[in-house]
Amino acid sequence: MSRARDWTPRQIGYCGNVHPTPELGALCASIEAHFRGVRQLRGLNEQDSGLWISAQAAAQLQQLTARQAFLECLQRSGLRLTSLNGFPYGQFHGRAVKAEVYRPHWADPHRREYSLQLAQLLAAALPSDCVQGVISSVPLGYAAHWSPALQHGAELQLRQLTQALARLHRETGKKIVFCLEMEPDCVLENTDQAIAFFQHWQATDPHHEHLALCFDVCHQAVMFEDCYQSLDRLRLAAVPVGKIQLSSAMICRLPPRDEPRRQAVLRALGDFVEPTYLHQVKARDRQGRLLAWEDLPAALEAAEKDLAQCAELRIHFHVPLFSEQLLLPELSGSHAALSQTFDYLGDHRDFRPVLEVETYSWGVLPAPLRPHTEQAQLQGIATELQWVEAQLQQRKLLSSPLPTGEACSHAL
């Protein structure tokens, strides 16, 4: 395998939704301080990264002088913009987000309008050696609020989007692909649903190559999926995966015959309850059936007979990738799911999605685990990226940067 097919440290970036940047001024300040700081901690001259750009900032960037200043900020900070997070539409920090993060859903024209603004921006910002950029987005909507009418509306909006993306490709030579991100309790939450949707989509949309899947490791771990098998099934079904978000779910192992210890573990788990984000919880009972709670408080308040059936809880709480223990030995990250993902990449070297670390919850971790200064958080992010480099290196998937700069080579 040639070095150009390996990842380089520069191509391992992180998602900017960890930083509170609801408007353009905050976004540019974050690029100058946070992204530049992480890059310097890694000893790199430049770094691929995925920004979260809110709807407010995206609207501001439609103004030509603002866009030009933004592009200059990227270049000045050594940030190569190859990916965007187009999932959260509005405020994502500092107040309760919960299920509002799925609004507007894909049946709402505001989602399409925002997404097209992001696509136009990414096409303008892509480095000259990149012909394709990817943008992650909502998996249609939140399942509890969904209906056949909304499904029909979402497909209509998505077809309008892919048609516009095809036109953008013809006009600019830059291909932008939207990646629907499977997430627990959403319309697309598991591999079966993703395969069914994309087989339907590929049969009905003439511009289907502009729609792909974002595979978030945390989310699929919460769903008790084997990530190696899931990625293999997606590949065999010809479902394109444009981005893998490297993230770690929280796993709680409940002692089966030690009630005092069991209660201590549940009390420690309660320290992760926080008011901002939705932390869906899944478990399997003794018969292997999937149990579900919409948020962590609901799981902790579940009747004892429900939790007594469960040896393990999987929680949608993005914890640092390198975390092996969280407060107690029974609380850990989903390292097995991450290993399955890296192993799949090692065994399928022609599979080259964008790799992006997404740990947005540093600021809501329990106090003993939370970085208490900005510099400590940046160091934590840099350590996560170095951890990813080590995983790739172990599987001989990491090479040094080429002297003339390596091409993006993330085409689907």
Both tokens of residue 23? 């408007």
CA distance 161 to 52: 19
pLDDT tens digits along 243-298 = 999 999 999 999 888 889 988 999 999 999 999 999 999 999 888 899 999 999 99
Q: Which of 25, 19, 14, 24 has its CA nearest to residue 48?
A: 14
- List the Cα angle 102/246/9 in 5-degree steps: 130
How far is the CA of 91 from the CAs of 17, 20, 220, 363, in angstroms? 10, 8, 25, 15
Q: Are 312 and 232 in contact (CB under 8 A)?
A: no
pLDDT value, residue 407: 56
Q: Is the pLDDT of residue 306 over 80?
A: no
How far is the CA of 40 from the CAs of 17, 34, 50, in angstroms? 20, 10, 17
Predicted confidence band of residue 3 (pLDDT cuts 50, 70, 90): very low
Question: Helices in 78-226 by DSSP H: which ranges?
Answer: 109-125, 148-172, 191-204, 217-222
Both tokens of residue 19? 């930083």
pLDDT tens digits along 321-358 = 999 899 999 999 999 999 999 999 999 999 999 999 99
Average pLDDT score over residue span 353-364: 97
- Strands 290-293 and 281-284, by their bridges, are antiparallel
Q: Which of 119, 157, 234, 228 has its CA nearest to residue 188?
A: 234
SS3 call for 176: strand
List the domains of the chain with CATH numbers.
3-248+320-394 (3.20.20.150)
Share of the chain above pLDDT 70, in %: 95
Label residue 129 left, alpha or beta by phi (over 0 means left) and psi (-120 to 50 means alpha). Answer: alpha
